[in-house]
């Protein structure tokens, strides 16, 4: 696999502008779901994978395909079925008689953006074939390691209503997804606009254009890595994750991997908001889609109809939030808050409540 070109460094302002342009382009195909699509883009920029969980027909597949078209990345789609084998996903080696040697033939995983449609319809053996790819960005076959293209992201879909003939994703697999996103039905005005657009367009495809390319997405990811987080906000983030392990009704809380995932998602949220420092509001805005799918609830909670997202919201309501003070150019004003205003201390203006 060839090494991608070194991306041109982007400023945080450029990241926000480029992300807005990508979402504007996707809006041409998907009506009224900018927030949900924005979360998927946020997950990609944070370097993670996304689980789209919703009923059929709400544009889950269309959202993945439209994002791929707008970002200019390579795309492949895997329809998960009960008879799908691991080699059908990762690829396999075949014997080349002319050269008298084994040659690896890449599977559909070898793309920048991979859509795993109805992932819970494949047996556990096939689901497990994704674990190495999602975590290590590589595939091992016949003792040889093959690197996946960069950037690499998996967008998986599943139907939360129909469970007949499905294999629930194990906790180890769920933990690999940075975010779980629900698209939901559009409101009436949005649905009417969707119908009108389709009638006027005269064809199914919205004809989206690439706003950037794979190198541009890598540059956006690099900019997200430069977003800083103050010690008080990092402490708040950790306290929030740890609270999920101590809450009544939770059998297994969010793992340390969830803390890192929440950090990356919060940094991406800050970057998309035009800031190079994380605020508590960034953490709060991505906490539920980042943490809810990582919780295992006690059976009595399921019997009472309590959802994991509700427990995350309880944690948000109980964990003390640090007081956020935005950096100011006036040294005296910053000093009055007990905060340094040095340029390399952006985001340090977060102080814990007395």
* Tens digit of each residue's pLDDT (9 = 90 or more) over 241-268: 999 998 888 888 899 999 999 999 999 9
What is the dihedral angle through the alpha carbons of 304, 307, 311, 316, rounded to the nearest 10 degrees? -140
Beta carbons within 8 Å of 109's beta carbon, 6+ residues apart? 76, 78, 89, 90, 91, 130, 133, 139, 148
Contact 63, 33 (CB under 8 A): yes
Architecture of domain 12-219: 3-Layer(aba) Sandwich (3.40)
Q: For 277, which DSSP code?
A: B
CA distance 86 to 157: 18
The stretches of 247-279 forming alpha helices (DSSP H) are: 256-272
pLDDT of residue 5: 56
| pLDDT (0 to 100) of residue 299 | 85
Task: Give the CB-side neighbour count of residue 144, counting CA atoms within 13 A.
Answer: 12
pLDDT reported for residue 354: 32
**142-198 tens-digit pLDDT:** 778 889 999 999 999 988 777 677 788 888 888 999 999 998 888 888 889 889 888
Question: Boundaries of CATH 1.10.8.80 in the chain?
Answer: 228-351
Please, where in the chain does CATH 3.40.50.300 lie? 12-219
Which of these ranges, 20-24, 100-104, 131-135, has the smallest mean pLDDT?
100-104
**CATH class given for the domain over 228-351:** mainly alpha
pLDDT of residue 324: 56
- pLDDT surpassing 80 at residue 344: no
Q: Which residues pair with 52 in a beta bridge?
A: 157, 181
Q: Is residue 346 predicted with pLDDT exceeding 70?
A: no
pTM above 0.75, yes or no: yes
Q: Which of 100-104, 207-211, 284-288 has the lowest mean pLDDT?
A: 100-104
Residue 326 pLDDT level (bands cut at 50, 70, 90): low
């Amino acid at each position: 696999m060839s090494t991608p070109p070194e991306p041109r460094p982007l400023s945080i302002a450029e990241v926000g502008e480029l992300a807005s342009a990508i979402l504007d382009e996707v809006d041409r195909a998907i009506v009224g779901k900018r927030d949900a699509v924005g979360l998927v883009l946020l997950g990609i920029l944070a370097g993670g994978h996304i689980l789209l969980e919703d009923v059929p027909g709400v544009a889950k597949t269309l959202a993945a395909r439209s994002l791929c078209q707008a970002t200019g990345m390579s795309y492949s789609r895997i329809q998960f079925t009960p008879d799908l084998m691991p080699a059908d996903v990762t690829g396999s080696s075949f014997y080349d008689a002319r050269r008298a040697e084994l040659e690896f033939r890449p599977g559909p995983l070898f793309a920048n953006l991979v859509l795993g449609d109805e992932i819970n319809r494949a047996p556990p053996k096939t689901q497990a074939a994704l674990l190495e790819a999602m975590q290590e960005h590589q595939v091992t076959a016949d003792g040889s390691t093959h690197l996946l293209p960069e950037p690499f992201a998996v967008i998986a879909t599943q139907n939360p209503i129909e469970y007949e003939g499905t294999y629930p994703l194990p906790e180890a697999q769920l933990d690999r997804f940075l975010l779980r996103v629900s698209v939901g039905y559009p409101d009436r005005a949005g649905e009417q606009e969707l119908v009108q657009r389709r009638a006027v367009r005269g064809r199914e495809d919205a004809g989206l254009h690439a706003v950037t390319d794979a190198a541009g997405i890598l540059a956006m990811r690099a900019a997200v890595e430069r977003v800083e987080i103050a010690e008080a906000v990092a402490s708040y983030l950790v306290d929030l994750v740890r609270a999920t392990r101590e809450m009544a009704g939770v059998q297994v809380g969010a793992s340390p991997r969830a803390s890192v995932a929440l950090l990356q998602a919060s940094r991406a949220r800050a970057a998309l908001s035009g800031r190079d420092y994380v605020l508590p509001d960034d953490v709060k805005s991505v906490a539920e889609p980042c943490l809810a799918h990582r919780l295992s609830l006690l059976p009595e909670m399921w019997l009472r109809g309590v959802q994991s997202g509700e427990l995350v919201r309880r944690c948000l309501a109980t964990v003390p939030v640090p007081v956020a003070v935005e950096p100011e150019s006036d040294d005296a004003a910053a000093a009055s808050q007990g905060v340094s205003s040095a340029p390399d201390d952006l985001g340090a203006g977060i102080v814990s409540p007395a």
